[in-house]
Structure 1
Amino acid sequence: MATTDPANTHAVFKAYDVRGTVPDQLDEELSRRTGAAFVRVARASTVVVGHDMRPSSPPLAAAFAAGAADAGADVVMIGLASTDQLYFASGDLGHPGAMFTASHNPAAYNGIKLCRAGARPVGADSGLLEIRDAVGHPQPPSGEAGTITQRDVLEAYAAHLLRLAPVAGRRLKVVVDAGNGMAGLTAPVVFERIGGTDGGTVELVPMYFELDGTFPHHEANPIEPENLVDLQKRVVAENADIGLAFDGDADRCFVVDELGGAVSPSTLTALIAARELAKEPGASVIHNLITSRRVPELVTELGGTPVRTRVGHSFIKARMAETNAVFGGEHSGHFYFRDFWRADSGMLAALHTLGALASSDRSLSELLDDYRRYVLSGEINSEVLDPTATLAAVESAYAGTRGAVLDHLDGLTVTTDDWWFNVRPSNTEPLLRLNVEGADDETMTRVRDDVLSLIRSHAR
């Protein structure tokens, strides 16, 4: 059984969530113990629980609910849900929550994303390690057990998103690739409220909407270019205005323009930042350090305050709370909204993009020209013998570069007027991750190749 080995428990409790293979690393007993531990650590009287479409998710969610109820908490089961739908339930109902999903991981995996009331994150620095330790020291049920009830929040979730980002204007043809993930459930309900397939603002062209945790068509991970190929072809074949791709739990959204071109999440960050600043002039906007410099430039041009953070949702959410930022964007396709309890929502990002496009008479590629200025490499991973020594070698090589500024907010960032790059170590693997941006393609390519050559001279 997975829970008999303390080392295994430590292995599945990650920096931001619980994740592992089923049933050898994560099983129903571990889930049950986690439910009880979560109630004790979070001092929760009520917990909201949702799950994705993976075959292992319903029994794991049920076991968690049983453990939480044994510990004295009432449990509200919202059933099949996207992760941002669970965040909505946590925020709207005011209760801590647990979402059973392994996001974009293969079918053999599952996991638990936990949050406190109001969708506040639970990570290694905010309670997850205490929950892990409590799992290893289970306590017998004490007092009266809580109740377990069912509640459907999907319609309320859809209505809330459209209040935050209404879509009106010209009719759009939209191809959506759900990747057999949870957007196959949420997208039809959201899109029907803005016209759906019967008319109105949106004509929906669905792809892979069948909920199937074995992912028969492609991995539900749109950050990988090969997983966008089907959508890109379909957008062009349908003569559609836009394509949207969601990951397995639908908390991330990637966009394809009418020409079939993949849109950088940095470009979407700039677009959404402009819309949020139009509603609240002068507000702060969060961007992580590998987002295009076009984002802070645009925010400044529009009178807002750009706030730079490390990579990772816990850092972004913390800085949002500190600065009261209206919005935050990451290169990974996560977009965070203050009015959505500072949580990330792929669907809300999609609605902002549709709203901007529907209110314009330009194509998406033309519209986004306003939000693009530089050339990004995308993230490039290199396996090295000693990430720390390799990072030091890169710093030594660039320390004397004329006009360069070096900083260590997250790994090493080297910035000049014409280019910048960031190299940072993986938290879990002997990898270094490189991101480069240049004023033009030639500059980006030159810097990318130079840094990669240096990094890979230390390859394993």
Structure 2
Amino acid sequence: MTHRFDPSTLREYDIRGIVGKTLAAEDAHAIGRSFGTLIRRAGGTRVAVGRDGRASSPQMEAALVDGLRQSGINVVRVGLGPTPMLYYAEAVLEVDGGIQVTGSHNPADYNGFKMVFQHRAFFGEDIQKIGAMSAEGDWDDGETGTVEDADIIDDYVGRLMAGYAGGDYRIGWDCGNGASGPVIEKLVKLLPGEHHLLFTEVDGEFPNHHPDPTDEANLADLKRLVAEKNLDFGLAFDGDGDRIGAIDGEGRVIWGDQLLSILAVPVLREVPGATIIADVKASQMLYDRIAELGGEPLMWKTGHSLIKTKMKETGAPLAGEMSGHIFFAHDYYGFDDAQYAAVQLIRAVHMIGKSMTQIRSEMPDMINTPEMRFQVDESRKFAIVDEVLDRLEADGSDVNRTDGARVNTDDGWWLLRASNTQDVLVARAESKSADGLDRLVAQIDDQLAKSGVERGPQAAH
């Protein structure tokens, strides 16, 4: 038996595709066979499996479990829940790996698989190996594994609240009909304060709005709720609960790097001088703030698996990305968890002793472009960035090569990088003035023109 995947589904951080077009139950079965074989060869025997609320997830889960069992793996099903609940299961149950069936924040017709292998991120070459093993039928057969169900949602919610010491706030919560809903319903019963919930019913069609809190258009319902009820702030979650969004009492968005600057306060009080990691898309304001609080700011590559790996390497207690992935290793397990981030954010606001609106108002006013994403030829995307870097360094520009080209000028900074997951270049710029921002964007366009490309229409995520 062999199996070939649609090549577009084997991505940098997960396996993901359109159900019925590029992804089918046969793919799920092959993932189970290959991942199960890798676990067995590493001396493991048990894998936890969870799923999100998409219509295709039960079918994908069944095929995945069947593939794992055929490879001799015993499966622990943790059922419907956010991806971080599966990560939690993998951390605390006696298992050797975990797989979440999830289409993350993609539209309803997508699905996919996020994997953890013996408590480490499973990405990049690991995912290519799944494809290669399946194509060759390089699978171990064992005695068919067992399957059991573990009801861990209450344990998980209890863990989110462990050691909680926060204030009495009035908060809006928007679950976007994603997999976080049932967890948030349980969580707010344990939190002090007053809580108003939106769209907690899990519905894989996402009937109210698309669950991606990094797109401000998706926060309209939450903004309305916070305004109508005069709440202190609002929190939102993506489809599988590993990314958080937030607004203050005036409905202003608190972006990923701004959230990290708030969350850094309690962490740096408890772990003075600690390294805190953010991705290359984060504001200079964040790096300055971490230093001001006595921490060591570290700029790293975008991508949740890359950040998790760097955290382990550096012993960083906290990390985050502009996309709303926030990672906690201080008193937690080192993975990205939007539900835990929500609890820690409430705690941080309480510890700072100011309202969320005041905290947001005191942040330096920077003007940013949105993340500009535009399609380029896959074979050229990394080459273009290299050409830009070579020209900038020849000019003596102040360049950081961590992940693409991040260029500092008197006006602020701009970034050009190649997406790891699509045939897309990503650009972003930040300045203290509108004129400065225009000059930065002009520099991006100038460098692109010298490599024979222009910022075309926006590419979809």
Q: TM-score, normalised by structure 2?
A: 0.90
Candidates 370, 390, 415, aligned match of 1:378: 370
Deviations 1:37-94 (A, max 9, x none): 1111122300000001101101211211121112111111011010000000000114
d(CA) in 1 for partners of 2:389, 2:124: 29
Q: In the alignment, what sits opposite 2:84?
A: 84
Q: 1:140 to 1:353 in 2, by over 3 A?
A: closer
Q: 1:428 to 1:353 in 2, by over 3 A?
A: closer
Secondary structure in 2 matching 1:343: coil
Q: CA deviation at 1:133?
A: 1.7
Structure 1 residue aligned with 2:273: 282
Letter of the 1:438 partner, please give it: S
Q: 1:141 to 1:437 in 2, by over 3 A?
A: closer
CA contact (8 A) 1:88 1:340 kept: no
Q: 2: CA distance between counterparts of 1:392 and 1:116?
A: 33
Kept after mapping to 1: 8 A contact 2:235/2:246: yes
Post-superposition offset of 1:257: 0.7
Q: CA deviation at 1:9?
A: 4.0
Looking at structure 2, the residues matched to 34 and 361 of structure 1 have their Cα atoms a distance apart, in angstroms, of 48
More divergent stretch after superposition (21-30 vs 386-395): 386-395
2:254 corresponds to which letter in structure 1? V
- In the alignment, what sits opposite 2:166? 168
Aligned ranges for residues 45-64 of structure 1 at < 5 Å? 45-64=45-64
Aligned equivalents of 2:2 and 2:68: distance in 1?
A: 20
Contact 1:357 / 1:363 at 8 angstroms: preserved in 2? yes
In percent, how many aligned pairs have the same letter?
30
Given that 1:382 and 1:455 are in contact with CA atoms closer than 8 Å, whether structure 2 keeps it comes out as no
- Structure 2 partner of 1:113: 114
Contact in 1 for aligned 2:232/2:357 (Cα 8 Å): no
Q: CA separation in 2, counterparts of 1:304 and 1:443?
A: 29
* Paired position in structure 2 for 1:306: 297
Secondary structure, counterpart of 1:149 in structure 2: strand
Amino acid at match of 2:400: D
For 2:228, what is the secondary structure of its paired residue?
Answer: helix
| Residue 229 of structure 2, aligned match among 219, 234, 238 | 238
For 2:413, the aligned partner's letter is W
Amino acid at match of 2:186: V
Separation in structure 1 between the aligned mates of residue 323 and residue 139 of structure 2, nearest angstrom: 42
User: What does residue 213 of structure 2 align with?
Assistant: 222
1:25 Cα deviation (Å)?
2.2
> Which amino acid counterpart does residue 378 of structure 1 have in structure 2?
P
Return the offset for 1:230. 1.8
One-letter identity of the residue aligned with 1:326? P
Quickly say closer, same or farther: Cα 1:234–1:280, change in 2 above 3 A. Answer: same
Name the CA shift for 1:204/1:142 in 2 (closer, same or farther; >3 Å). same
CA deviation vs aligned residue, 1:328-362 (integer Å, no higher than 9, x gap): 01111001111432110111111121122345553
Q: Which amino acid aligns with 2:166?
A: A
Q: 2:342 aligns with which of 343, 346, 350?
A: 350
Residue number among 7, 10, 15 corresponding to 1:13 in the alignment: 10
Q: Give 1:22 shift.
A: 1.2
Q: Distance in 1 between matches of 2:371 and 2:100?
A: 28
Query: Which piece of structure 1 moves more, 27-36 or 358-367?
Result: 358-367
Change (3 A) 1:275 1:97: same
Does 1:296 pair with 2:287? yes
Matched residues in 1 for 2:259 and 2:434: separation? 20
Which residue of the partner structure matches residue 459 of structure 2? Answer: none
- After TM superposition, give the deviation of residue 148 of structure 1 in Å: 0.4
1:145 is displaced (CA, Å) by 1.6
Written as runs of structure 1 = structure 2, the 5 A alignment for 1:132-281 is: 132-138=131-137, 142-163=141-162, 166-169=164-167, 171-194=168-191, 201-281=192-272
CA distance in 2, matches of 1:344, 1:112: 16
Q: Secondary structure of 2:281's partner?
A: coil
Q: Aligned-pair distance for 1:298?
A: 2.0
Q: Deviations over 1:161-216 (max 9, x none)?
A: 2226x2422x211111111101211111112111xxxxxx2322111112110111
Measured in 2, the distance between the counterparts of 1:362 and 1:267 equals: 15
SS of equivalent to 2:162: helix
Contact conserved, 1:101 with 1:110, CA < 8 A, in 2? yes
Which amino acid is 1:136 matched to?
A
| Alpha-carbon distance between aligned partners in 2 of 1:132 and 1:94, rounded to the nearest angstrom | 27
Quick check: 357-366 or 233-242, which moved more? 357-366
State the 1:128 CA deviation: 1.9
Letter in 1 for 2:216: P
Q: 1:29 to 1:396 in 2, by over 3 A?
A: closer
5+ residue gaps, structure 2, are: 457-461
Distance in 1 (alpha carbons) for counterparts of 2:177 and 2:317: 32
Q: Match of 1:446, SS?
A: helix
Report how many residues are paired.
446
Question: How has the CA–CA distance of structure 1 residues 65 and 384 changed in structure 2, closer, same or farther, with 3 Å as cutoff?
Answer: closer
Pick from 303, 328, 338 the counterpart of residue 337 of structure 1: 328
Aligned partners of 2:321 and 2:10: how far apart in 1? 23
Quote the residue 2:354 is aligned against: 362
Q: Against the structure 1 CA distance between its residues 9 and 42, is the aligned structure 2 distance closer, same or farther, given a 3 Å change threshold?
A: farther
Deviations 1:204-240 (A, max 9, x none): 2111112110111111111112111221122111211
1:433 paired residue among 426, 436, 440: 426
> Does residue 1:411 correspond to 2:409, yes or no?
no
The CA RMSD measured in Å over matched residues stands at: 2.4
In the TM superposition, 1:26-65 aligns within 5 A as: 26-43=23-40, 44-65=44-65
**Counterpart selection for 2:417 from 415, 424, 439:** 424
Offset of 1:303 from its aligned partner? Answer: 2.1
- Could you say what secondary structure the match of 1:136 adopts? helix
Q: CA deviation at 1:140?
A: 7.5
User: Distance in 1 between the 2:343 and 2:395 partners?
Assistant: 43
2:316 pairs with 1:318: no
Hey, what does 2:439 align to over in structure 1?
446
CA distance in 1, matches of 2:159, 2:198: 25
* Distance in 2 (alpha carbons) for counterparts of 1:419 and 1:94: 49
Q: Secondary structure at the match of 2:75?
A: strand
Q: Is the 8 A contact 2:2 2:136 kept in 1?
A: no
Structure 1 residue identity aligned to 2:109: A
Gaps of 5+ in 1: 195-200
CA distance in 2, matches of 1:327, 1:413: 22
**Equivalent residue of 1:237, what SS?**
helix
Give the letter for the 1:447 counterpart.
Answer: L
* 4+ runs deviating over 6 angstroms: none
